[in-house]
């Protein structure tokens, strides 16, 4: 089943030979189209290439619709599993920024509840902490003392502990 002209076949072959930094996936797609042009059937191409029949069919359809450029794999980037866009997150944090700017402490449980309400399902604490990190929020003041501290034991250690050293 020949679908390409001789000039298109020549262009495919030169693309296969000339492009040095070609991705393996792209190289395989070009080879699938060239094998089709040599007269092989799709099941035979799938067996020869070690790919599924649907993969071969997809490569052929991509080439038929867009030529050599359509065979290049599309780049994947950005946040693939985002719950909200960056702008939506900024809008959510804007309410809490007003309170933080007024000197109040940010309660992570309140922020988590607002975040879960906005996205419509529950999420982990690490998601909320990652959200804060993405927007440049940080912990400015650690707690000054442990809630279960014992002042008497601390003073005793200060008086007698250093003498032993």
pLDDT digits (tens, 9 = 90+) for 27-85: 888 888 888 888 889 999 999 989 999 999 988 888 888 887 887 777 777 777 788 88
CA-CA distance, 111 to 131, in Å (whole number)?
10
CA-CA distance, 10 to 4, in Å (whole number)?
10
Position 20 scores a pLDDT of 65
User: 133: buried, middle or exposed (CB in 10 Å: 19+, 13-18, 0-12)?
Assistant: exposed
Residue pointed to by tokens 């008497």: 152
Position 143 scores a pLDDT of 67
Handedness of CA 127, 130, 131, 137 (dihedral sign): positive
69-107: per-residue pLDDT in tens? 887 777 777 777 788 888 999 999 988 888 777 667 778
Position 165 scores a pLDDT of 55
């Amino acid at each position: 089943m020949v679908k390409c002209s001789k000039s298109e076949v020549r262009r495919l072959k030169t693309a296969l030979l000339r492009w040095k930094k070609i991705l393996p996936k792209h190289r395989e797609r070009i080879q699938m189209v060239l094998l089709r042009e040599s007269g092989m059937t799709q099941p035979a191409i799938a067996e020869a290439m070690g790919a599924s029949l649907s993969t071969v069919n997809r490569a052929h359809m991509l080439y038929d619709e867009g030529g050599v450029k359509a065979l290049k794999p599309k780049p994947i980037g950005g946040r693939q599993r985002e719950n909200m866009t960056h702008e939506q997150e900024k809008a959510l944090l804007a309410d809490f920024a007003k309170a933080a700017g007024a000197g109040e402490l940010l309660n992570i449980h309140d922020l988590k509840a607002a975040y879960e309400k906005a996205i419509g399902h529950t999420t982990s604490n690490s998601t909320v902490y990652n959200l804060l990190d993405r927007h440049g929020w940080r912990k400015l003041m650690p707690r000054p003392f442990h809630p279960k501290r014992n002042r008497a034991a601390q003073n005793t250690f200060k008086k007698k502990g250093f003498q032993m050293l």
